[in-house]
Amino acid sequence: MSNRKIFSPTSVENAEPMATGNLVARRTFLGRSVVSLGAVALGTLSQQRWACAASAQVDPLHQMPRAKRVIFLCMAGGPSHLETLDYKPKLAELNGQPMPASFTQGQPIAQLQGQNLKCLGPQHPFGRFGQSGQQICQVFRHIAGIADELCIVRSLRTEQINHDPAHTFMNTGSAISGRPSMGAWIVYGLGRMTDDLPGFVVLTSSGGGQDQPIAARQWHSGFLPSQYQGVQFQSVGSPVLYSSRPRGVDESDQRTVVDAVTSLNQLYGQEHHDAEVATRIAQYEMAFRMQASVPGLMDFSDEPQSILDMYGTRGGDGSFAGNCLLARRLAERGVRFIQLYHRGWDHHGGVKQGVEVAAGHVDRASAALVQDLKQRGMLDDTLVIWTGEFGRTPMAQGNGRDHHIKGFSMWMAGGGVRAGTSYGATDDLGYNAVENVFHVHDLHATMLHLLGIDHERLTFPFQGREYRLTDVAGKVVHDILA
């Protein structure tokens, strides 16, 4: 059944809902609500059609899901794996020495193009933590404190060496603009779990280094229908764009307007047998509910002091810690894919201090989020991912490090990954991933697998072929599954 749905020839038509008489082509992510709006009474035919509207493309799932939702903590700018998760004593020995040419010959290099390449040893000490004895940089003492929850991958690889395309690649599996982001794919595949909030929410914060820009394409739905697009919460004003009412309009005034719009739309729909109207009515209802639910979501007064202390925030302050707490609240309310960007990791110079400052912003809260999810019983079905768009060179750029794509690190927690383990390795100098190479496409494939989706079967027709998040690559890394 799921197969047919995905490959159905009519899905091409679904790509372009063209005429509003086009009932079949319409898919609303409000499937259930729309059906319950029986009062719209557009005639039995259209009601039958609505009953077919599904919120999830993959139904039933391709396999048993281990996770229901994902919280993706994106350390934007590219944290140095050599000062976070990948300890290289050999690099310390070679500190200040020329980088052996065998490593760098013919490799893409960013800002260090044409320069003398010298090794820069790890700038912070590492330690072994937890019963699992995982090696983690001592600067990250809170993350080190949850070592036994973590699955650390030290063999990540990407294909793009500059920030903007590297983010695009991490999010869409392609460096070409205009492809759907992973959050959009996931909401498209799995549908939403809430009617009050978007299925895919993006939060941003900064501190610790120069703020690399992040384009809205990172959470765009690309060629998927735009209801799957990520909604970026704003750090100033109302968090959801256009969710604050005009001045002088209270909730009941807004209700009056929405009710009248609905009544007139119903009259129009009846007169013209236009079923698109039913969707419009449902969307106004959802908009109204969203507007009503956002203030509660953003009201942190119900969080006990112990929780605020654990994260290190008062909540709603636009900091990474505040965003972590908000992420947990969004997860509780049924948001499927929550992505946090912390822009502070681009340490071309002063990597020693830079990592310390950035860690000061994210260490405590990242760990708190995992622990908080765990104590609420939510970690089992929430996949938390912590990584950058790439890593940084073992070679010095002054006292910093340049962009690096051939080997970098991440950690994951919860959601069906094996806790307290490490996977993959780079060479002695932390340059090339050499053991169990873990490509970004593999990350996507594995993430979808944990959500119950076969990455090769979640497709959408575009430019003459069935596109997927993993393009034509990607393999599920079974070794890290619990």
Partner 1 sequence: MKAVHLFCFVAVSIGCSFTSSSRGAAPDASPIDFARDVRPILSKHCFACHGPDRNGQDTELRLDVRDSALEHAIQPNSAESSELMQRITADDAELRMPPATSKIPPLNDQQIDVLRRWIDGGAAYTTHWAYRPIQKPNPPVVDDVAWARNPIDAFVRAENALRQVEQAAPADAHVLARRISLDLLGLPPDRQTVDDYIRQPSDATYEQLVDSLLASPHFGERMAVLWLDLVRFADTCGYHGDQHRELDVYRDYVIDSFNHNRPFDQFTIQQLAGDLLPDASTETQIASGYNRLLQTTEEGGAQPKEYRAIYDADRVRNVSTVWLGTTLGCAQCHDHKFDPFTTRDFYRMAAVFADVGEVEVGRQVENLELPTDEQRQEMARLNDAIAIAKQATVGDSPSEAAQQRLKELEGELGKLRATIRKTLVTQAVPRRTTRILPRGNWLDESGEVVDAAIPAVFQPVTGEQIECNSRLDFARWLVSDGNPLTPRVFVNHLWRVMFGTGLVTTAEDFGAQGSYPTHPMLLDWLAGEFRDSGWNVKHLLKLIAMSRVYQQSSDIDALSLQHDPFNRWLNRQHRYRLEAEFVRDNALAVSGLLKPEIGGASVKPYQPDGYWAQLNFPKRTYRADDGDRQYRRGLYTYWCRTFLHPSLVAFDAPSREECTARRTRSNTPLQALVLLNDPSYVEAARALTDLVLGDPPTQNGEDDHARIKWAFERVLFRAATPPELEVVQRVLNEQRARYRSSPGDARSLLRVGQQPDFKGDDLAAAEAAAWMSAMRVMLNLHETITRS
Binding residue for partner 1 (CB under 8 A) from 34, 143, 146, 290?
290
Q: CB nearer to partner 1: give 64 or 236.
A: 236
Least separation in angstroms between CB 410 and partner 1: 22
114 belongs to the binding site for partner 1 (CB under 8 A): no
Is residue 54 near partner 1 by the rule CB under 8 A? no
What letters, b where the CB count within 10 A reaches 16 and e where it falls short, cover 138-169?
A: ebbebbbbbbebbbbbbbbbbbbbbbbbbbbb
52 binds partner 1 (CB under 8 A): no
Site residues (CB under 8 A) for partner 1, limited to 219-238? 220, 223, 225-227, 229, 231, 234-238
Cβ proximity to partner 1: between 243 and 382 the closer is 243
Looking at the Cβ atoms of 142 and 403, the one nearer to partner 1 is 403
Query: Please, what is the angle between helix 351-375 and helix 320-332, to 10°?
Result: 20
One residue of 33, 90, 194, 284 binding partner 1 per CB under 8 A: 284
> Vertex 33, ends 32 and 39: CA angle to 5°?
120
Among 265, 339, 382, 422, binds partner 1 (CB under 8 A): 265
Complex with partner 1: residue 205 or 422, whichever CB lies closer: 205
Q: Is 184 in the site for partner 1 (CB under 8 A)?
A: no
Interface residue with partner 1 among 217, 333, 374, 418 (CB under 8 A) is: 217
Could you count the other beta carbons within 10 Å of the beta carbon of residue 438? Answer: 25
Footprint of partner 1 on residues 336-375 (CB under 8 A)?
Answer: 343
Please report, for the chain, how many H helices and E strands are present, in that order: 15, 17
Residue 329 three-state SS: helix
User: Does 3 help bind partner 1 (rule: CB under 8 A)?
Assistant: yes
Binding to partner 1 by residue 444, rule CB under 8 A? no
DSSP H or E stretch at residue 126? strand 126-129
- DSSP code string of 198-244: -SEEEEEEE-SS------GGGG--TTS-GGGS-EEPPSSS-SSTT-S
277 contacts partner 1 (rule: CB under 8 A): yes
Residue from 123, 158, 291, 426 touching partner 1 (CB under 8 A): that is 291
The verdict on 136 binding partner 1 (CB under 8 A) reads no
- Minimal distance in Å, beta carbon 317 to partner 1? 14
The span from the CA of 35 to the CA of 15, in Å, is: 22
Which of residues 43 and 98 has its CB atom nearest to partner 1 in the complex? 43
Residue closer to partner 1 (CB basis): 275 or 417 = 275
Residue 137's contacts (CB-CB under 8 Å, 6 or more residues apart) are: 83, 84, 85, 87, 122, 124, 125, 126, 355
Residues in the interface with partner 1 (CB under 8 A) total: 103
Sign of the dihedral through C-alpha 169, 174, 179, 180? negative
Among 128, 272, 314, 376, binds partner 1 (CB under 8 A): 272
- Residue whose C-alpha is closest to residue 452's, from 189, 225, 200, 193: 189
| Residue span binding partner 1 (CB under 8 A) among the ranges 139-147, 264-272, 332-340, 385-393 | 264-272
Residue among 102, 301, 305, 463 that touches partner 1 (CB under 8 A): 463
CA distance 231 to 241: 9
Q: Residue 113, interface with partner 1 (CB under 8 A)? A: yes
Residues near 434 by Cβ (< 8 Å), separated by ≥ 6? 155, 407, 425, 426, 427
Closest to 136 (Cα-Cα) out of 90, 86, 89: 86
Is 51 near partner 1 (CB under 8 A)?
Answer: no
